């Protein structure tokens, strides 16, 4: 072949490739033709619901308030109405909002919260006397502090919040106490096999570093870690966690993100959110990360399922 023939052959090959590309594009376009059906269907639905489609001839200039307008729709010509991202976020957040009414419903817990009941008469009397800022705390204040801390520690997806609430409600004996009922003797170095490796090396460390907070922070080493994070000496004053609701909530969120009991699985490194993002319905796994075992598993599952049902999670 001459040089001229070679050039012509190359041009023909390029044209053939373009034709093949165009044929593939046409196939893609065919698959997108369902949009017209979607537009017509939604436009009909909007008219049924009393929503005025866009691009119709009307002299009515009344503007529908944002709060009452349909969040999304299409006009009959297939054009989408503009939806501001902030409005979408607001709608989603409102659906999965934690409120006093919501907690009372899913936890089946009306009346006063944090009464100190469940640990016996002596415990209840001590709780009223030494934890006055926690005893029967205002529910609205508690919920406000809870939502603020969840946002601060980025525990924000519906499943993350559902698991967190289910675990906390069980650990708190049904929103009764920010302090473990038992004396803490079982955490003493001559009693518990893991006491020394967790920092409880001296007699008295068991009661001193027993469970506190919404998720019952336990062991001296964990009090040391949270002290460094928060910039407050909880090692010298561990009861500060149980006496201050902000600390009680913060320590639990901190534990959830940085100190959970599972590290290798999914490379979680103590972040319970990662476990949930990979296995959203696995209450057993989350319980193991929080409690180290299966203690109260049925109750935790029951609360989790109630929250799922209320929020209509799949």
Give residue 64's pLDDT.
Answer: 41
DSSP code at position 180 = -
- Taking the chain, what is the end-to-end CA distance rounded to the nearest angstrom? 67
Distance of CA 25 to the CA centre of its chain: 42
Copy the structure tokens of residue 84.
Answer: 């501001």
Distance of CA 181 to the CA centre of its chain: 27
Give residue 89's pLDDT.
Answer: 47
Cβ partners under 8 Å of residue 137, min gap 6: 113, 114, 245
Distance CA 75, CA 73 (A): 7
300: closest CA among 119, 24, 106? Answer: 106
Distance CA 63, CA 54 (A): 12
Give residue 8's pLDDT.
Answer: 72
Give residue 29's pLDDT.
Answer: 63
Question: 175 to each of 162, 186, 195, how far by Cα in Å?
Answer: 16, 23, 28
Sequential pLDDT tens for the chain (314 residues): 666 666 676 777 777 777 777 777 767 666 555 555 555 665 565 555 554 444 444 444 443 443 444 455 555 555 555 555 544 444 555 789 999 999 999 999 899 999 999 999 999 999 999 999 999 999 999 999 999 999 999 999 999 999 999 999 999 999 999 999 999 999 999 999 999 999 999 999 999 999 999 999 999 999 999 999 999 999 999 999 999 999 999 999 999 999 999 999 999 999 999 999 999 999 999 999 999 999 999 999 999 999 999 999 98
CATH topology of domain 96-311: Lysozyme (1.10.530)
Give residue 72's pLDDT.
Answer: 52
Within 10 angstroms of residue 254's Cβ, the number of other Cβ atoms is: 22
211: closest CA among 235, 178, 170, 246? Answer: 178
On whether the CB atoms of residues 79 and 36 are closer than 8 A, the answer is no
Whose structure tokens read 């691009």? 55
| Domain layout of the chain by residue ranges | 3-83, 96-311
Question: Count of residues for the chain?
Answer: 314
Within 10 angstroms of residue 84's Cβ, the number of other Cβ atoms is: 10
218: closest CA among 261, 175, 257, 176? Answer: 261
On whether the CB atoms of residues 235 and 227 are closer than 8 A, the answer is yes
51: closest CA among 41, 43, 39, 61? Answer: 43
Give residue 23's pLDDT.
Answer: 76
DSSP helix/strand/coil, 289: helix
DSSP helix/strand/coil, 179: strand
This prediction has a pTM of 0.72
Give residue 53's pLDDT.
Answer: 44
Compute the Cα dihedral for 153, 118, 199, 270 and give only its sign. negative
Within 10 angstroms of residue 163's Cβ, the number of other Cβ atoms is: 30
Compute the Cα dihedral for 161, 106, 255, 278 and give only its sign. negative
The CA dihedral of 45, 47, 51, 57, to the nearest 10 degrees, is: 140
């Amino acid at each position: 072949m001459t040089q001229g023939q070679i050039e012509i052959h190359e041009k023909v090959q390029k044209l053939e490739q373009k034709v093949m590309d165009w044929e593939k594009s046409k196939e893609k376009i065919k698959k997108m033709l369902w949009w017209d059906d979607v537009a017509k269907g939604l436009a009909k639905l909007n008219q049924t619901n009393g929503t005025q489609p866009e691009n119709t001839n009307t002299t009515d200039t009344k503007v529908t308030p944002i709060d009452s307008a349909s969040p999304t729709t299409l006009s009959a010509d297939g054009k989408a109405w503009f939806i501001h991202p902030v409005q979408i976020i607001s709608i989603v957040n409102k659906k999965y909002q934690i409120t006093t009414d919501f907690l009372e419903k899913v936890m089946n817990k009306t009346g006063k919260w944090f009464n100190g009941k469940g640990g016996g008469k002596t415990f209840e009397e001590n709780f009223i006397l030494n934890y006055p800022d926690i005893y029967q705390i205002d529910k609205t204040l508690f919920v406000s502090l809870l939502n603020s801390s969840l946002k601060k520690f980025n525990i924000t997806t519906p499943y993350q919040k559902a698991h967190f609430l289910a675990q906390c409600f069980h650990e708190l004996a049904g929103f009764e106490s920010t302090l473990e009922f038992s004396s803490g003797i079982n955490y003493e170095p001559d009693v518990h096999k893991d006491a020394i490796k967790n920092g409880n090396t001296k007699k008295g460390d068991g009661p001193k570093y027993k469970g506190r907070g919404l998720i019952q922070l336990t062991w001296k080493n964990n009090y040391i870690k949270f002290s460094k994070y928060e910039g407050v000496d909880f090692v010298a004053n561990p009861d500060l966690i149980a006496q201050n609701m902000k600390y009680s909530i913060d320590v639990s969120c901190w534990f959830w993100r940085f100190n959970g009991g599972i590290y290798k699985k999914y490379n979680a490194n103590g972040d319970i959110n990662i476990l949930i993002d990979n296995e959203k319905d696995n209450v057993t796994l989350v319980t193991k990360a929080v409690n180290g075992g299966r203690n109260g598993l049925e109750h935790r599952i029951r609360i989790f399922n109630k929250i799922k049902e209320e929020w209509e999670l799949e």
